[in-house]
Amino acid sequence: MRDQTSTFGRAAGVAVLLAAVLAAGCTGSVKLGPDAVRGKAPDGYVEMKTVAAAYIGSGTAGDGTLFHRGREYKFTVGGLGIGGIGVSEMQATGEVYDMADVAQFAGAYAQGRYGYAIGTASGGDLWLQNGAGVIMHLKAKREGLMLSLGGDAVVISMK
């Protein structure tokens, strides 16, 4: 019963965050993109691999590695979203900003995304920010058949 309660709690948290992301996106109050990190040096780097499926709603699952101050930290990724259609596998690499301590990395992230995948041809850019203010800018390479445009709530947990 405890596992079901924990899973329900996480799913409810993601749903609440997703609603907040969508509301913020409608009001224009979430400002992610190049201006958010202009003039800042990255505090770390990430590599991740995820699988996503979408048909109006979307789901993502995967794992990755955070590189911070000469150390490696493994993490898992899970998310729910709205927008897109298809199935794809994504490999992403990028910079992490505004992270003074690794403890700030885990948590729920709001994500803005755009991109496409047709076979092995792909393109895309991801901007994520969590409640601690940590920002990730990821360049994505996808394989599969997917058209993606929308917002997501992504939860990162340290292994």
Q: What is the pLDDT of residue 11?
A: 42
Q: Are strands 121-130 and 44-68 parallel, antiparallel or unpaired?
A: unpaired
pLDDT number for residue 112 = 63
**Residue 74, token pair as written in the block:** 């493994």
pLDDT of residue 90: 83
**Residue stretches of the chain with pLDDT short of 50:** 1-29, 115-117
- Contact between 77 and 138 (Cβ < 8 Å): no
SS3 content of the chain, % helix, strand, coil (to 5): 20, 60, 15
Helix (H) / strand (E) element for 15: namely: helix 2-27
Q: Where are the domains of the chain?
A: 2-158
pLDDT one-digit tens code per residue, 117-154: 455 555 667 888 999 999 999 988 877 766 555 566 88
pTM over 0.85: no
